[in-house]
A and B are shown apart, each in its own frame.
Chain A
Amino acid sequence: MRIKEHPILDFKETKKLHFMYNGKQVYGFEGDTIASALHALGIKTLRHSIELKRPRGFYCAIGNCASCNMIVDGTPNVRTCITPLKEGMQVETQKDKGVYNETR
């Protein structure tokens, strides 16, 4: 749910950004992080824990706890709470430690 009116803050509507979430096209807005865009869509589970595969959402939202790690454009372990959303991003739920495809 997005806040439309607020007594203190002005949330101006920004540009719509389309992105892929687990193969489905969804959208967020400019200024969103990946995590905030997903949350606004009601998607709270961002990854699964490594050992027990328990669903995890974000916890700190300042890039500190790794609870929000997802696979973004093929790169695993991206802290989606501090990564700005961009048009055309491919975002996937991360279910393991993360496999890096290429040496970079």
Chain B
Amino acid sequence: MLKTTGVPDKALILTRFPDDVILGKPKAITECYEPIPCNPCETSCPFEAITVGEDINTPPKVDFDKCTGCGICVYNCPGLAIIVAQLKNDKAYFKIPYEFIPMPEVGETVHAINRAGEIIGEAKIEKVTLRKKQDKTALIDVSTNTELIHEFVTIRRMR
């Protein structure tokens, strides 16, 4: 599927998620399945939680013990292939990269979107961060239903 449509299979996606207990804390989910010459995720993580290794074609691996869910890798990944996920207070929380205008506003209700680009529910914008060092890739904190934890990947504004 990934090869023909750009949508990874559910089984593949699950290989990047830790279990729900670990997800009680925010953790980076690296959806970068293919060996490509790239490693900014590794070099940008201040906690050395992501490993690519000597051969920069190796797909990244996250050490969930070290990952604090800070989100720095999210806006440093040129493939926009990393999100941070968390299960907390009966809600699913995410940090996602966003490079479109207009930027959503805090409190705004937006569509929750899955990996096929389909609307799967609603989500709420919790926070929008766009500092200078992020170089125009915004980091958006968003919450949605817990059932969407493995489905949600991005937002679309309702216009």
Q: How many residues of A contact B (CB 8 A)?
A: 4
Considering the complex, give the chain A residue whose CB is closest to the CB of B99.
A7
- Shortest CB distance B135–A (Å): 9
B129 nearest CB across to chain A (Å): 15
Q: Contact mask B97-110 → A, CB, 8 Å, 1/0? A: 00111000000000
- Which secondary structure dominates where chain A touches chain B? loop
**Can you list, as one digit per residue, whether each of A1-31 has a CB less than 8 Å from chain B (1) or not (0)?**
0000111100000000000000000000000
Give the Cβ gap from A73 to chain B, nearest Cβ, in Å: 39
Residue on B nearest A6 in the bound complex, by CB? B101
Nearest CB in chain B: distance from A10 CB, A: 10
Question: Counting CB contacts under 8 A, is B136 at the interface?
Answer: yes
CB distance from B157 to the nearest CB of A (A): 13
A7 vs B97: C-alpha distance in the bound complex, in angstroms? 13
User: Inside 8 A of A6's CB, which chain B residues have their CB?
Assistant: 101
In the complex, what residues of B have CB within 8 A of residue A8's CB?
Answer: 99, 136
User: What residues of A have a CB within 8 angstroms of the CB of B100 in the complex?
Assistant: 7
One digit per residue, 1 when the CB lies within 8 angstroms of any chain A CB and 0 when it does not, for chain B 61-105 equals 000000000000000000000000000000000000001110000
* A5 CB contacts on chain B under 8 angstroms: 101
Provide the bound-state CA to CA distance between A5 and B103, in Å: 12
Measured between alpha carbons, how far is A31 from B33 in the docked complex, in Å? 41
A10 closest partner in B (C-beta):
B136
Please give, as numbers and ranges, the residues of chain A lying within 8 Å of B99 by CB-CB distance.
7-8
8 A-B interface contacts by CB (under 8 A): A5-B101, A6-B101, A7-B99, A7-B100, A7-B101, A7-B136, A8-B99, A8-B136
7 tightest A-B contacts by CB?
A7-B101, A8-B136, A7-B99, A7-B100, A5-B101, A7-B136, A8-B99
Binding site for B on A (CB under 8 A): 5-8
Binding site for A on B (CB under 8 A): 99-101, 136
